[in-house]
Protein backbone atom coordinates (compact mmCIF):
# COMPACT_ATOMS: atom_id res chain seq x y z
CA UNK A 1 0.00 0.00 0.00
CA UNK A 2 1.41 3.34 -1.03
CA UNK A 3 2.17 5.78 1.78
CA UNK A 4 0.69 8.62 -0.28
CA UNK A 5 -2.44 8.56 -2.42
CA UNK A 6 -2.01 7.53 -6.05
CA UNK A 7 -3.66 10.36 -7.95
CA UNK A 8 -5.77 9.20 -10.89
CA UNK A 9 -6.04 11.39 -13.97
CA UNK A 10 -9.83 11.41 -13.71
CA UNK A 11 -9.56 12.92 -10.20
CA UNK A 12 -6.99 15.56 -11.11
CA UNK A 13 -7.63 19.07 -12.37
CA UNK A 14 -5.72 21.79 -14.14
CA UNK A 15 -2.03 21.36 -14.82
CA UNK A 16 -1.88 18.13 -12.81
CA UNK A 17 -4.57 16.61 -15.04
CA UNK A 18 -2.81 17.76 -18.20
CA UNK A 19 0.51 16.28 -17.07
CA UNK A 20 -1.03 12.95 -16.10
CA UNK A 21 -2.80 12.84 -19.47
CA UNK A 22 0.53 13.43 -21.27
CA UNK A 23 2.18 10.67 -19.23
CA UNK A 24 -0.68 8.31 -19.99
CA UNK A 25 -0.36 9.11 -23.67
CA UNK A 26 3.38 8.44 -23.64
CA UNK A 27 3.17 5.10 -21.82
CA UNK A 28 -0.31 3.91 -22.78
CA UNK A 29 -0.99 3.80 -19.03
CA UNK A 30 -0.10 5.98 -16.07
CA UNK A 31 2.65 4.31 -14.03
CA UNK A 32 2.03 4.38 -10.28
CA UNK A 33 5.22 6.36 -9.67
CA UNK A 34 3.77 9.34 -11.55
CA UNK A 35 0.50 8.97 -9.67
CA UNK A 36 2.45 9.22 -6.40
CA UNK A 37 4.44 12.23 -7.62
CA UNK A 38 1.15 13.86 -8.66
CA UNK A 39 0.47 14.68 -5.02
CA UNK A 40 2.59 17.74 -5.84
CA UNK A 41 2.06 19.41 -9.20
CA UNK A 42 5.55 20.91 -8.92
CA UNK A 43 7.14 17.51 -8.28
CA UNK A 44 5.19 15.90 -11.13
CA UNK A 45 6.07 18.74 -13.48
CA UNK A 46 9.75 18.52 -12.61
CA UNK A 47 9.80 14.71 -12.89
CA UNK A 48 8.07 14.67 -16.28
CA UNK A 49 10.22 17.53 -17.53
CA UNK A 50 13.37 15.69 -16.44
CA UNK A 51 12.28 12.57 -18.35
CA UNK A 52 11.47 14.64 -21.42
CA UNK A 53 14.74 16.54 -21.41
CA UNK A 54 16.89 13.44 -21.02
CA UNK A 55 14.84 11.66 -23.67
CA UNK A 56 16.32 14.08 -26.20
CA UNK A 57 19.87 13.77 -24.88
CA UNK A 58 23.04 12.58 -26.51
CA UNK A 59 23.86 9.33 -24.70
CA UNK A 60 20.93 7.36 -26.07
CA UNK A 61 18.01 5.58 -24.50
CA UNK A 62 19.75 2.22 -24.13
CA UNK A 63 22.60 3.61 -22.02
CA UNK A 64 20.16 5.77 -20.08
CA UNK A 65 18.19 2.66 -19.16
CA UNK A 66 21.34 0.72 -18.24
CA UNK A 67 22.29 3.56 -15.89
CA UNK A 68 18.77 3.52 -14.42
CA UNK A 69 18.96 -0.23 -13.81
CA UNK A 70 22.37 0.10 -12.14
CA UNK A 71 21.20 2.93 -9.87
CA UNK A 72 17.93 1.14 -9.04
CA UNK A 73 19.72 -2.03 -8.05
CA UNK A 74 22.29 -0.12 -5.99
CA UNK A 75 19.48 1.64 -4.11
CA UNK A 76 17.33 -1.52 -3.88
CA UNK A 77 14.46 0.19 -5.69
CA UNK A 78 12.30 -2.66 -6.95
CA UNK A 79 9.94 -0.30 -8.77
CA UNK A 80 12.65 1.41 -10.82
CA UNK A 81 14.46 -1.85 -11.49
CA UNK A 82 11.26 -3.35 -12.92
CA UNK A 83 10.30 -0.22 -14.88
CA UNK A 84 13.74 0.42 -16.37
CA UNK A 85 14.28 -3.22 -17.23
CA UNK A 86 11.07 -3.08 -19.28
CA UNK A 87 12.05 0.26 -20.81
CA UNK A 88 15.59 -0.98 -21.43
CA UNK A 89 14.30 -3.92 -23.43
CA UNK A 90 12.23 -1.49 -25.52
CA UNK A 91 15.36 0.64 -26.02
CA UNK A 92 17.25 -2.31 -27.50
CA UNK A 93 19.14 -3.73 -24.52
CA UNK A 94 19.20 -7.48 -24.14
CA UNK A 95 18.17 -9.22 -20.92
CA UNK A 96 21.86 -10.13 -20.43
CA UNK A 97 22.94 -6.49 -20.84
CA UNK A 98 20.36 -5.36 -18.30
CA UNK A 99 21.33 -8.09 -15.85
CA UNK A 100 24.97 -7.03 -16.14
CA UNK A 101 23.96 -3.39 -15.70
CA UNK A 102 22.34 -4.28 -12.38
CA UNK A 103 25.87 -5.07 -11.17
CA UNK A 104 27.29 -1.97 -12.86
CA UNK A 105 28.95 -4.05 -15.56
CA UNK A 106 28.96 -4.33 -19.34
CA UNK A 107 30.95 -6.32 -21.88
CA UNK A 108 31.19 -3.06 -23.89
CA UNK A 109 34.08 -1.01 -22.40
CA UNK A 110 32.51 2.40 -23.01
CA UNK A 111 29.24 1.38 -21.37
CA UNK A 112 31.16 -0.21 -18.49
CA UNK A 113 32.97 3.09 -17.89
CA UNK A 114 29.67 4.99 -17.82
CA UNK A 115 28.17 2.53 -15.35
CA UNK A 116 31.23 2.66 -13.09
CA UNK A 117 31.03 6.46 -13.08
CA UNK A 118 27.27 6.41 -12.40
CA UNK A 119 27.69 4.08 -9.43
CA UNK A 120 30.65 6.10 -8.16
CA UNK A 121 28.33 9.12 -8.12
CA UNK A 122 25.73 7.16 -6.14
CA UNK A 123 28.14 5.52 -3.71
CA UNK A 124 30.22 8.64 -3.08
CA UNK A 125 27.21 10.98 -3.10
CA UNK A 126 28.71 12.98 -5.95
CA UNK A 127 32.18 13.19 -4.41
CA UNK A 128 34.21 12.30 -7.51
CA UNK A 129 37.83 13.01 -8.34
CA UNK A 130 39.60 14.39 -11.39
CA UNK A 131 40.63 10.80 -12.14
CA UNK A 132 37.01 9.59 -12.03
CA UNK A 133 35.92 12.17 -14.61
CA UNK A 134 39.03 11.59 -16.72
CA UNK A 135 38.34 7.85 -16.81
CA UNK A 136 34.97 8.50 -18.43
CA UNK A 137 36.57 10.90 -20.91
CA UNK A 138 39.24 8.32 -21.68
CA UNK A 139 36.47 5.81 -22.44
CA UNK A 140 35.28 8.12 -25.21
CA UNK A 141 32.63 10.31 -23.59
CA UNK A 142 32.45 14.04 -24.25
CA UNK A 143 31.91 16.50 -21.43
CA UNK A 144 28.31 16.90 -22.61
CA UNK A 145 27.77 13.15 -22.30
CA UNK A 146 29.48 13.01 -18.89
CA UNK A 147 27.19 15.71 -17.53
CA UNK A 148 24.25 13.81 -19.03
CA UNK A 149 25.33 10.62 -17.25
CA UNK A 150 25.23 12.59 -14.01
CA UNK A 151 21.78 13.94 -14.93
CA UNK A 152 20.51 10.37 -15.44
CA UNK A 153 21.87 9.44 -12.02
CA UNK A 154 20.13 12.45 -10.46
CA UNK A 155 16.81 11.63 -12.12
CA UNK A 156 17.04 8.04 -10.98
CA UNK A 157 17.86 9.03 -7.42
CA UNK A 158 14.72 11.17 -7.48
CA UNK A 159 12.58 8.31 -8.79
CA UNK A 160 14.18 5.73 -6.49
CA UNK A 161 13.45 7.92 -3.50
CA UNK A 162 9.83 8.51 -4.54
CA UNK A 163 9.22 4.79 -4.95
CA UNK A 164 11.07 3.64 -1.85
CA UNK A 165 9.95 6.39 0.55
CA UNK A 166 6.32 6.17 -0.47
CA UNK A 167 6.18 2.36 -0.98
CA UNK A 168 4.79 2.79 -4.49
CA UNK A 169 3.38 -0.53 -5.74
CA UNK A 170 5.28 -2.01 -8.66
CA UNK A 171 3.15 -2.04 -11.79
CA UNK A 172 5.78 -3.48 -14.18
CA UNK A 173 6.94 -7.11 -14.40
CA UNK A 174 9.06 -7.77 -11.30
CA UNK A 175 12.85 -8.15 -11.58
CA UNK A 176 14.92 -9.66 -8.79
CA UNK A 177 17.35 -7.28 -7.10
CA UNK A 178 20.96 -8.41 -7.17
CA UNK A 179 21.86 -6.34 -4.14
CA UNK A 180 20.12 -6.07 -0.79
CA UNK A 181 19.41 -2.64 0.65
Q: What is the pLDDT of residues 9-68, one digit of tens each?
A: 999 999 999 999 999 999 999 999 999 999 999 999 999 999 999 999 999 999 999 999
Per the CB < 8 A criterion, the answer to whether 166 and 160 are in contact is no
- Averaged over 101-116, what is the pLDDT? 98
Residues 6+ apart with CB under 8 A from 16: 7, 38, 41, 44
pTM: 0.96
For the domain made up of 61-165, the CATH class stated in words is mainly alpha
- All structural domains of the chain with their residue ranges: 9-55, 61-165
Amino acid sequence: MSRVPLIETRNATGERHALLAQIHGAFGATPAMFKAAANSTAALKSLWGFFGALGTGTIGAKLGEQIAVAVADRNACEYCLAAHTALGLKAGATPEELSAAQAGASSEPKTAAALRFALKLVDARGQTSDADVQAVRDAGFSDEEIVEILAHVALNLFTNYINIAFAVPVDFPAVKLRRAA
